[in-house]
Amino acid sequence: MQLGTLILFGRSAAAGRSGPHDNLDEALSGGSNRGQTRLRGHPFEMAHDSIHCYNEQLFLTSSRVKRLASAWQSSVQGDGKRRSSWGSNQIKAAAIFCVATAALLATGPANSQLITNGSFETPTVPIGSFTNFTVGTAALTGWNVIGPAGTNVSIVSTSFSQGGVAFEAESGVQWLDLTGNGSNSTEGVSQTIATTAGDKYQLSFYVGNTTGGAIFGTTSTGDVLLNGAQSFVATNKNVSPTTLNWQLFTYNFVATGASTSLAFVNGDPSGDNSNGLDNIFFKIWVRSQPFPSPQPTC
């Protein structure tokens, strides 16, 4: 099966056999199917924020999902029986599917992390210190260090402090300083992610800024490049004299090919010695087509 698929199969309520589950809780927890309820031979597939019915080629948007789920809930009588007047078997099946997979719409594969080492937790650096990674090195897990020859970026420990400023990570125990150690140029990091042309993706990340310490500047700017072209500029202007302040940035875009090169480049001036980057998350946002899966068999 394709990633993110939940299947509902059908069986008839013939004499001497169990019929479709009338109670959703029973369908999800009881019986030998253990969560795979059988429902009149109409398999459905959840494709992130949509549903695809194999037999009838029914495609439901997330808003329709919510309406069907609501309609299904309102169609259940006190004894748990479905009202016979409520629509076709196919739509009933879709509604049950909607209710059963409501949580998956928020927590399923659509929210899966596609970035490697997005919080810069590896390699581990000395506690209370930092480690430099020079352009061209392969030592920074999941990332390529890019920029002018001889420049570097630094992974910094969350317990590092200097000039009266505490440089705590936004997530985990480490973060990346795009200014490096004495570089302060256009160095950065890049990573290539597998994508699907036409699908919409969401990129989120945090930029860290401090206004203290005299040598760390007043703002922090990260330039975001997609496939080598600058696509987004993220500037944290928050005043924070004694600690690193983290600001969230989010960017949506449509992929144009089977892979996308993502890069973060230092955009601070040469006199600024701190530009934080942490907790990068890259996920699919809207899939252009439902998953192409074969007809399941029982």
What CA dihedral angle connects 38, 43, 48 and 51, to 10 degrees?
-110
Q: Does residue 234 register a pLDDT over 50? A: yes
- Predicted confidence (pLDDT) per residue in 13-53, tens digit: 333 333 333 333 333 333 333 333 333 333 444 443 344 43
CA distance 49 to 33: 25
Cβ partners under 8 Å of residue 186, min gap 6: 147, 148, 151, 265, 266
CATH 2.60.120.260 fits 130-286, yes or no: yes
- Predicted confidence (pLDDT) per residue in 156-211, tens digit: 999 999 999 999 999 999 999 999 999 999 999 999 999 999 999 999 999 999 99
Cβ partners under 8 Å of residue 48, min gap 6: 4, 105, 108, 109, 110, 284, 286, 287
CA distance 213 to 166: 10
* Residues forming beta bridges with residue 146, ordered by sequence position: 188
- Predicted confidence (pLDDT) per residue in 113-134, tens digit: 999 999 999 999 999 999 999 9
CA distance 125 to 156: 7
- Residue intervals in the chain for CATH 2.60.120.260: 130-286
Q: For 59, list phi and psi in degrees, rounded to 5.
A: -120, 120
Structure tokens at 129: 């210190």
- The strand pair at 144-146 and 130-134 is best described as unpaired
Burial zone of 104 (CB within 10 Å; 0-12 exposed, 13-18 middle, 19+ buried): middle
Q: Is the distance from CB of 274 to CB of 184 less than 8 angstroms?
A: no
Crossing angle between the packed helical segments 62-74 and 89-100, to the nearest 10 degrees? 100
